[in-house]
């Protein structure tokens, strides 16, 4: 990703070890990149690492937990048994369909979450819906 004011967030189970390694060996990869240890993996790290590299403490990461790829791999794991005997073209087609379905499902989930969040905020602020549409 390139462009003005774009920072890439790299969530990695051992980001605290990857960061110094890249600083030493590939500093060009460090430009506009912020490293964070995902929430569930942070508990296995010492307190200093949790505070400096934990997702909850890294500026700009919001409430991202950093486990998105693990959920994707978990979803795709079941396709291993199904696709192992397929020809390469059917294998690719099946995984493509699975990934497209996964993307649609995730997008729908985000829409529902945003609608719920908006409804909660409207109730808290008592802002009429007509004002928001205007």
119-131 pLDDT per residue, tens? 887 787 776 666 6
The angle formed by the CA atoms of residues 57, 59 and 61, to the nearest 5 degrees, is 85
First to last CA, the chain: 34
pLDDT at residue 106, rounded to an integer: 87
64-94 pLDDT per residue, tens? 788 888 889 999 999 999 999 999 999 999 9
pTM for this entry: 0.59
Pair of tokens at residue 19: 């960061």
- Tracing tokens 């790829």 back to the chain, one arrives at 69
Q: How confident is the model at residue 116 (pLDDT cuts 50, 70, 90)?
A: confident
Give me the residue spans of the domains in the chain. 1-66, 67-134
pLDDT at 36 over 60: yes
Q: Mean pLDDT, the chain, as a whole number?
A: 85
Instruction: Write phi, then psi, for 65 (nearest 5 degrees).
Output: -100, -15
Query: Strand, coil or helix: what is 10?
Result: strand
């Amino acid at each position: 990703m390139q462009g003005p004011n774009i920072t890439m967030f790299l969530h990695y189970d051992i980001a605290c070890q990857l960061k110094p390694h890249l600083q030493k060996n590939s500093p060009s990869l460090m430009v506009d990149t912020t490293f964070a240890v995902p929430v569930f993996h942070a508990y296995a790290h010492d307190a200093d690492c949790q505070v400096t590299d934990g997702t909850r403490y890294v500026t700009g990461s919001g409430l991202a937990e950093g486990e998105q790829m693990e959920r994707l791999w978990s979803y795709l794991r079941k396709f291993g048994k199904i696709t192992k005997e397929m020809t390469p073209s059917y294998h690719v087609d099946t995984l493509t369909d699975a990934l497209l379905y996964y993307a649609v499902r995730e997008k729908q989930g985000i829409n529902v979450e945003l609608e719920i969040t908006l409804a909660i905020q409207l109730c808290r602020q008592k802002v009429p819906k007509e004002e928001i549409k205007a």
